[in-house]
Every structure is written in structure tokens, then in C-alpha cells.
């Protein structure tokens, strides 16, 4: 089965400072007219966030490639090369020091070759070994950006290429994939479109799903994925939103519709959702691994929610539906809520610990003050009523006054603490 395919391989890494275009990189965005037009369909603040309206928004930079690169796929006697169009690379400089990127590839080949190519290329740490021409043309420019702007660039000076390239996916071990596949009406004869969508979405060989085969995904898993993660609105297309991929499969799709999926559903909605996911990955790392202060992380989280979080993105039902499906596929809401809860609990615990330490300090200061007060009180009583005259001994007098005052203070402290509990 032949298909026309456009895919975006996406990753992210941390950067310091603002990216300044150099070489073949150039700034990309939309005109004011395009911004106003987009704001008729999408919330203006969402459009502004996606196109660099302020510091808490995404700025875009593109390097056009336009190269046909042979990508080697298969094993043993089945090894062959698939002509792959490396269209362009786009950087998305996002808030909080995150740099996202996408690599656009275009294919026109069999479905098996599509999944084979994507499977090879998304394993970014292996690309230089399996497909060096692609690594030289596409991965090398990204590594140059990493070396110039990553705060961890000095750590890769003596690393092998596979370890260096893996740094382009700061959290995870493979690239995320957004893919658009279309087939001609004649190719649909005898094809189960749901099975084809499942195999594309899971980057599996076409025809590999077989519930009777012990090494195939189970029918229960297949039904769960297709029942809970698919998006079906019109009869000529269906989509599947998973953790690692978002897949559109259609037939008789106009070029204008495909461009809408590329520009808006990928270029705005999926990119913004990937930013949220990568930000949560980083926040989790800062909290659990780097042990940054919970109060500082909560301040940053509040800023993120105010500037970068969108419960709804569009006035229209289809973009809202697609946005929600991407959010669910990437498992964003459960992670966001749980992470916030853990950081807030840690903040409360530290505040309680600090309060307890302060109370202990005040308690010991009170005791110290009490001892000083006892001595001063004993001296005052001795001047008013000389202990040697009334008690026969100054030592006995000081002892009596001390014991009496200390007992009174102790009873007062016990009563105070008992009331607090």
C-alpha cells in the first residue's frame, strides 16, 4: 500500500540566553494580518503565545533543507534504502529556558517503508550509526545549536556521537512524532483503516497486528487504544493520539486541509502541548533530582499557569476536540495535578519544619531568659529581705526563690503547650 506522508520528529533541550539566528537559520512567524485571521478561530492569547508576542511565548526559527536523503531500513537480506525528503528544521524557543525542535520529513512510499523510516529516525542516539547522511544533514545543525546554547554543552566535549545526540531529547529516549498519512481511494480496497491507523501510530510494520499471533499486541490492548485514544469526526479521516505519537490517517484530503493540520493542529496545538509536557518533565526533575526549593518551584509553576497554560484554545469544536485528545494522549493533566500536589505538600512540610525549629529556638531562648530572670529576682529579694537574716543562709534563699520561680515557669510552659495541642 502506497501513501503520502508528512512527519515531524520532535524533541527538546534546555538552553540559556536568547537564540540569535546564524548561518542558514532565519526567524519565522506570522504577519499581523495572519495573526488577526488566526484570532478569529483561536483565542488571541493562544495565538500570541505561539508566535512570540512577549517573553513568555514561543519564538520560531527555521533552517530550510530541501534534501533527498536515502535512509537505510530493514534487516539482513531485506535491507534497502528509502528516499526521504528532509524538508526543514524548526526551533521553538519557549519560556523557562526550553528549546523545542521539529524535523519535517516527507515520504511517498509503502506504509511499511514509512514506519521503518520513522522507527529508525526517531531513535536519535542511533541515527549516526544507521543513517549517517541523515545525521550529517539534519542532526548536526541541531547539535551545533546545543553546543552554543545549552548550559550542559561542556559535558559532551569528549562523548561519543550516540551519547551526544541523545542530549537533544533531554527527557526520554526517542523523538515524539506528529504524522499525516493519506492514501488514495483505490488503495483502501480490502484495508482495515483502524488496524492501519493503529500500526502507524505505534510505528509497527503494516499488517503486523494479528490478535491470533502470540507476538502481536493483544486484542484487549488494541481495543483500549482504539476506543480511548482515537478521534473520529468525518468519514474521510481518523486520528490517534498516543504518548509518543499523534497520527492522522485520511483519504481524499485536500491540500488546504493538510496545510491546516500542519500549520494549526501541529504548528500551534501540538507544539504548545509538547512544550507543556517537556516543562513538566523538567519541573519533575528539578523537584525530585535537583531538590530545588519547593517555594521557588511553586512560584515558577504559578507563572507557567498564568502565561503558558490554556484550558481551551479555540472558539470552534474541532480544534478544541483535537487539543483535548493531544492533552489526554500525552497524559498531561494527571502529571500536572500530581506534580503540583507533591510540590505544595513539600512546601507545607518545610514551612511546618521551619515553624517548629523557630518554636524550639524561642523555647530555648525563653529558658535562657528565665534563668537570667531567676538570678535577678533572687538578687532583688535578697536586697529586700536578706536571706541570711530570714533563712540563715544566702544559698538557701537563692535556692528557694529559684525553685519557686522555675516551677511556676515550667507549669506555665506545660499549660501553654497543652492548649496548643
Q: How far is CA 81 from CA 68, 205, 207, 225, 363, in A?
A: 12, 16, 21, 32, 77
- Give DSSP secondary structure letters for 89-106: EEEEEETTTEEEEEEEEE
Average pLDDT over residues 78-88: 96
Residue 165: all three cell numbers together: 545526540
Residue 288 has a pLDDT of 83
Most confident of 214-228, 256-270, 362-376: 256-270
Question: Above pLDDT 90, what percent of the chain?
Answer: 64
> pLDDT band at residue 374, thresholds of 50, 70 and 90?
low
Q: Which residues contact 224 (CB under 8 A, 6 or more apart)?
A: none
| φ, ψ (nearest 5 deg) of residue 64 | -75, 135
Whole-prediction pTM: 0.84
User: 3-state DSSP call for residue 368?
Assistant: helix
Residue 370 has a pLDDT of 65
User: 3-state DSSP call for residue 52?
Assistant: coil
Residue 368 has a pLDDT of 67
Residue 82 has a pLDDT of 96
Residue 351 has a pLDDT of 67
CB-based contact 174:124 (threshold 8 Å) = yes
Average pLDDT over residues 227-252: 96
**Residue 28 in this model has a pLDDT that exceeds 70:** yes
Q: How far is CA 157 from CA 153, 169, 215, 348, in A?
A: 7, 17, 42, 42
Q: Which residues contact 264 (CB under 8 A, 6 or more apart)?
A: 38, 41, 42, 319
Residue 239 has a pLDDT of 98
Average pLDDT over residues 145-156: 90
Most confident of 45-54, 204-213, 242-251, 375-384: 242-251
Average pLDDT over residues 356-362: 71
Average pLDDT over residues 268-275: 98
Please indicate whether residue 213 or residue 290 has the higher confidence score (pLDDT). 213
Q: CA-CA distance, 402 to 245, in Å (whole number)?
A: 77
**Residue 397 in this model has a pLDDT that exceeds 80:** no
In 142-202, DSSP assigns E strands to 176-183
In 236-356, DSSP assigns E strands to 237-241, 245-251
- 263-275 in b/e form (b: 16+ CB < 10 A) is ebbbbbbbbbbbb
Between helix 271-288 and helix 317-329 the angle, nearest 10°, is 30
CB-based contact 13:150 (threshold 8 Å) = yes
- The residue with cell 512560584 is 299
Over the stretch 161-193, which tens digit does the pLDDT of each residue have?
Answer: 667 888 899 988 899 999 999 998 777 776 789
**Residue 421 in this model has a pLDDT that exceeds 60:** no
Q: What is the CA radius of gyration of the chain?
A: 32
Beta bridge partners of 260: none
Least-confidence region, from 93-102, 119-128, 410-419: 410-419
Average pLDDT over residues 237-248: 98
Residue 417 has a pLDDT of 63
> pLDDT band at residue 289, thresholds of 50, 70 and 90?
confident
> pLDDT band at residue 381, thresholds of 50, 70 and 90?
low
CB-based contact 47:34 (threshold 8 Å) = no
Question: Above pLDDT 70, what percent of the chain?
Answer: 86
Residue 144 has a pLDDT of 95
List the strands of the sheet with 59-73, edge to edge.
26-28, 59-73, 80-94, 98-110, 2-14, 176-183, 245-251, 237-241, 230-231
Over the stretch 291-328, which tens digit does the pLDDT of each residue have?
Answer: 778 888 899 999 999 999 999 999 999 999 999 999 99
Mean pLDDT of the chain: 89
CB-based contact 319:264 (threshold 8 Å) = yes
Amino acid at each position: 500500500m502506497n501513501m503520502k506522508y508528512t512527519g515531524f520528529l520532535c524533541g527538546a533541550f534546555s538552553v540559556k540566553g536568547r537564540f540569535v539566528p546564524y548561518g542558514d537559520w532565519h526567524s519565522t512567524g506570522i504577519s499581523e494580518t495572519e495573526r488577526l485571521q488566526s484570532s478569529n478561530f483561536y483565542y488571541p492569547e493562544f495565538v500570541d503565545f505561539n508566535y512570540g508576542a512577549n517573553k513568555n511565548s514561543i519564538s520560531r526559527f527555521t533552517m530550510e533543507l530541501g534534501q533527498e536523503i536515502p535512509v537505510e531500513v530493514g534487516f539482513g537480506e531485506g535491507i534497502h534504502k528509502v528516499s526521504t525528503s528532509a524538508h526543514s528544521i524548526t526551533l521553538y524557543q519557549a519560556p523557562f529556558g526550553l528549546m523545542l525542535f521539529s524535523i519535517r520529513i516527507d515520504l511517498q512510499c509503502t506504509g511499511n517503508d514509512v514506519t521503518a523510516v520513522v522507527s529508525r529516525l526517531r531513535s536519535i542516539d542511533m541515527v549516526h550509526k544507521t543513517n549517517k547522511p541523515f545525521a550529517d544533514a539534519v542532526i548536526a545543525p541541531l547539535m551545533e545549536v546545543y553546543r552554543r546554547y545549552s548550559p550542559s554543552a561542556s559535558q559532551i566535549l569528549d562523548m561519543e556521537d550516540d551519547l551526544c545526540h541523545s542530549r537533544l531529547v533531554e527527557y526520554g529516549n526517542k523523538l515524539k512524532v506528529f504524522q499525516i498519512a493519506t492514501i488514495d481511494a483505490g488503495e483502501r480496497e480490502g484495508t482495515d483503516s483502524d488496524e492501519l491507523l493503529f500500526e502507524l501510530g505505534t510505528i509497527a510494520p503494516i499488517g503486523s497486528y494479528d490478535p491470533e499471533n502470540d507476538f502481536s499486541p493483544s486484542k484487549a490492548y488494541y481495543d483500549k487504544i482504539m476506543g480511548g485514544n482515537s478521534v473520529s469526526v468525518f468519514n474521510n479521516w481518523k486520528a490517534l493520539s498516543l504518548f509518543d505519537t499523534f497520527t492522522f490517517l485520511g483519504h481524499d484530503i485536500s491540500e488546504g486541509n493538510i496545510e491546516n493540520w500542519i500549520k494549526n493542529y501541529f504548528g500551534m496545538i501540538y507544539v504548545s502541548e509538547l512544550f507543556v509536557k517537556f516543562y513538566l518533565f523538567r519541573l519533575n526533575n528539578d523537584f525530585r533530582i535537583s531538590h530545588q526549593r519547593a517555594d521557588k518551584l511553586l512560584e515558577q509553576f504559578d507563572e507557567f499557569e498564568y502565561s503558558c497554560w490554556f484550558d481551551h484554545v479555540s472558539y470552534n469544536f474541532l480544534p478544541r476536540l483535537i487539543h483535548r485528545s493531544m492533552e489526554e494522549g500525552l497524559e498531561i493533566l494527571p502529571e500536572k495535578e500530581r506534580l503540583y500536589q507533591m510540590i505544595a505538600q513539600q512546601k507545607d512540610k518545610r514551612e511546618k519544619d521551619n515553624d517548629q525549629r523557630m518554636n524550639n529556638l524561642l523555647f530555648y531562648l525563653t529558658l535562657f531568659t528565665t534563668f537570667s530572670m531567676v538570678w535577678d529576682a533572687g538578687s532583688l529579694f535578697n536586697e529586700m529581705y536578706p536571706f541570711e537574716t530570714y533563712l540563715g543562709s544566702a544559698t538557701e534563699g537563692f535556692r528557694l526563690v529559684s525553685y519557686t520561680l522555675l516551677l511556676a515557669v515550667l507549669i506555665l510552659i506545660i499549660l501553654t503547650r497543652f492548649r496548643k495541642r
